[in-house]
Amino acid sequence: MYFDSHLHSEGLGISELKTLAENRIKEVCSLAFFPVKPKYPQTMVDVFRKLTEFEPIRCEAAGIKMYPAVGIHPRCIPPNYEFVLKYLEEGEWVAFGEIGLELVTDEEIEVLKSQLELAKKLDVPCIIHTPRGEKVKATRKTIEILNSLDFPPQLAVIDHVNFETIDMVLETEYWIGLTIQPGKLSPDDAARIVAEYGSERFMLNSDAGYRDVEIATVAAAAEKIAENVGKDEAERVARKNARKFLRL
Amino acid sequence: MYFDSHLHSEGLGISELKTLAENRIKEVCSLAFFPVKPKYPQTMVDVFRKLTEFEPIRCEAAGIKMYPAVGIHPRCIPPNYEFVLKYLEEGEWVAFGEIGLELVTDEEIEVLKSQLELAKKLDVPCIIHTPRGEKVKATRKTIEILNSLDFPPQLAVIDHVNFETIDMVLETEYWIGLTIQPGKLSPDDAARIVAEYGSERFMLNSDAGYRDVEIATVAAAAEKIAENVGKDEAERVARKNARKFLRL
């Protein structure tokens, strides 16, 4: 059985969720995201309610255990986002995500910092996005922010790490997310990385959502890793590490 | 080419949208719905923004021209819904939907009436849901409300009509929506109805969304109608009537 540690179930149809289950991806972490910049902070609260109340039931109907992560993605920061932070502060959560930096603006930095401070206080694991563009700059800034907050390493995964940023992240103690998706990493890339750096720090995900056709990529990468590196390593990066990170 | 006059593209993944297009369903009307009861009216405004700004682009990427319909579904009436009505009053819309009655409560009646009054004033076509339970009662009440408002017949489709309610709706002058979906009508049912009552008043839809596996049902029904009744009739109920109703 596999665990997809980062996808957006809200962008997937029921037949696609079933495809995940048929490919032995039986557990997923589904991350909050709203595909337009909200005009109102209230919207994010209802988006989190949909993700935590409705989506797990829909995923279960497809044969998947879904763990929701809530948070403000840098591409959908609403005005008066403090309203959202207050809601986050009052709840109990599996994880915060998707949070992080996109264009590395002052506002994004402020919102990321606030959420990390809250996560540290509440002891909540954080799934931290790094963007396609500005990847090196955003990753460097993210690490700088985490370090400045003395953020507990076991509570952060830096996600969508690629060959440009892997050395920088390996120098830290944070978890590393490998996204298997056309345009990001291939199953072969993942196998190469695990062969070279071991399986202790990595977790695989698809980032599948609103526009992705290839969704069962964690299974494909896990098989490649089992074949080229070893079964234990595959099990670790395709399931065990995610469960450990999320304290399941 | 076919037109699905009522579905929820937000609940469909990109591969499912492509399946629609591959089945020659090249135009759809995607109706507003939020799968939990919103805590805030602001949420519905952002939900409409997602549906009108983001979803048409996603559908286009799958080869589908999507026309969004906005409105308050009876299962997701927020507190202070007047806030939503005010937003609806200030915009320009293809259609209002999904609106209607579910449990036929006073609040639902009030919200439906307000939206119909607005639609009449702004000259906007309305797609009106009838529920699974309380179908006869809700349909009768809906017709009573439409009549009491002297609602223009060409601006209303009463949807999810079945063998229990068809006679009642045929006595009016409103359009009639036939939903082809397991548990609702089958392609054979649709062919039987069109054979008996003609093709002038009907439009086909799938109501496909968050949990439906069968999504290209309009194509299946259209083929059955073409075979059993006639090609012109099929073209009318599977495309032309929807385009006429929506003034495209």
pLDDT digit string (tens) for chain A, length 248 residues = 999 999 999 999 999 999 999 999 999 999 999 999 999 999 999 999 999 999 999 999 999 999 999 999 999 999 999 999 999 999 999 999 999 999 999 999 999 999 999 999 999 999 999 999 999 999 999 999 999 999 999 999 999 999 999 999 999 999 999 999 999 999 999 999 999 999 999 999 999 999 988 999 999 999 999 999 999 999 999 999 999 999 99
Q: Give per-residue pLDDT as tens, B174-193.
A: 999 999 999 999 999 999 99
* DSSP state string for B88-137: HHHS--SEEEEEE-SS--HHHHHHHHHHHHHHHHHT--EEEE--STTHHH
In percent, how much of chain B has pLDDT > 70?
A: 100
Residue B213 pLDDT: 84
- This model of the complex carries an ipTM of 0.96
Rounded-to-integer distance, Cα B153 and Cα B128, Å: 12
Interface residue B99 vs chain A (CB under 8 A): no
Both tokens of B39, joined, read 């805590």
| Coil vs helix vs strand at B205 | strand
Q: Give per-residue pLDDT as tens, B26-46.
A: 999 999 999 999 999 999 999
One-letter amino acid of A247: R
Rounded-to-integer distance, Cα A165 and Cα A163, Å: 6
Task: Spell out the residues 6+ positions from residue B32 whose beta carbon is closer than 8 angstroms to its own.
Answer: B44, B47, B48, B51, B68, B69, B70, B71, B72, B73, B97, B98
Strands, sheet with A25-31, edge to edge from the N-terminal-most edge strand: A2-7, A25-31, A65-70, A95-100, A126-129, A156-158, A175-179, A202-205
Residue in B13, B43, B54 closest to A13 by CB: B13
Region of B71 on the Ramachandran plot (φ > 0 left; ψ -120 to 50 alpha; else beta): left
- Check CB contact under 8 Å for B53 and A39: no
Q: Which residues of B touch A46 (CB under 8 A)?
A: 34, 36, 38-40, 43
Closest-CA distance of chain A to residue B64, Å: 14
Rounded-to-integer distance, Cα B187 and Cα B178, Å: 10
In order of A69, B155, B177, the CA distances from B138 in angstroms are: 38, 19, 15
Both tokens of B101, joined, read 């009655």
The set of long-range contacts for A13-16, using a CB threshold of 8 Å and a minimum separation of 24, is A13/B11, A13/B12, A13/B13, A13/B15, A13/B16, A13/B215, A14/A58, A14/A61, A14/A62, A14/B11, A14/B210, A14/B211, A14/B212, A14/B213, A15/B13, A15/B15, A15/B16, A15/B213, A16/A208, A16/A215, A16/B13, A16/B15, A16/B16
Rounded-to-integer distance, Cα B147 and Cα B158, Å: 13
Rounded-to-integer distance, Cα B30 and Cα B11, Å: 10
Residue B212 pLDDT: 85
- For helices B106-122 and B82-90, give the axis angle rounded to 10 degrees: 10
Distance, C-alpha A134 to centroid of its chain: 18
Residue A213 pLDDT: 84
Rounded-to-integer distance, Cα A184 and Cα B164, Å: 53
- Check CB contact under 8 Å for B40 and A40: yes
Prediction pTM value: 0.96
Q: What angle do CA A5, A9, A14 make, to 5 degrees?
A: 130
What's the CATH code of the domain at A171? 3.20.20.140
Beta-ladder partners of B7? B30
Name the helix (H) or strand (E) containing A124.
none
Q: How many CB atoms lie within 10 A of CB A213?
A: 13
Interface residue B12 vs chain A (CB under 8 A): yes
**Look-up of token digits 């649709």:** B190
In percent, how much of chain B has pLDDT > 90?
A: 98
Task: Spell out the residues 6+ positions from residue B234 whose beta carbon is closer than 8 angstroms to its own.
Answer: B194, B199, B222, B223, B225, B226
Q: Give per-residue pLDDT as tens, A177-232.
A: 999 999 999 999 999 999 999 999 999 999 999 998 899 999 999 999 999 999 99
Q: Closest by alpha carbon to A21, among A43, A3, A47? A: A3
- Check CB contact under 8 Å for B35 and A54: yes
Q: What angle do CA B47, B52, B57 make, to 5 degrees?
A: 120
- Check CB contact under 8 Å for A61 and B211: yes
Find the mean pLDDT for residues B53-58.
98
Residue in A43, A53, A211 closest to B36 by CB: A53
Q: Give per-residue pLDDT as tens, B213-238.
A: 899 999 999 999 999 999 999 999 99
Closest-CA distance of chain A to residue B148, Å: 35
Burial label for A134, CB within 10 Å (0-12, 13-18, 19+), is middle
The secondary structure of residue A177, as a DSSP letter, is E
Both tokens of A42, joined, read 């209230």
Q: Which residues of A touch B15 (CB under 8 A)?
A: 13, 15-16, 213
Closest-CA distance of chain B to residue A57, Å: 10
Find the mean pLDDT for residues B100-116.
98
Residue in A35, A40, A54 closest to B36 by CB: A54
Q: Closest by alpha carbon to B233, among B195, B205, B179? A: B195
Residue in B12, B39, B46 closest to A38 by CB: B46
pLDDT at B115 over 90: yes
Rounded-to-integer distance, Cα B221 and Cα B189, Å: 9
Question: What's the structural domain count of chain A?
Answer: 1
Instruction: Supply the range of the domain harboring residue A26.
Output: 2-245
One-letter amino acid of B147: N
Q: Closest by alpha carbon to B161, among B220, B217, B215, B202? A: B202
**Look-up of token digits 């699974």:** B132
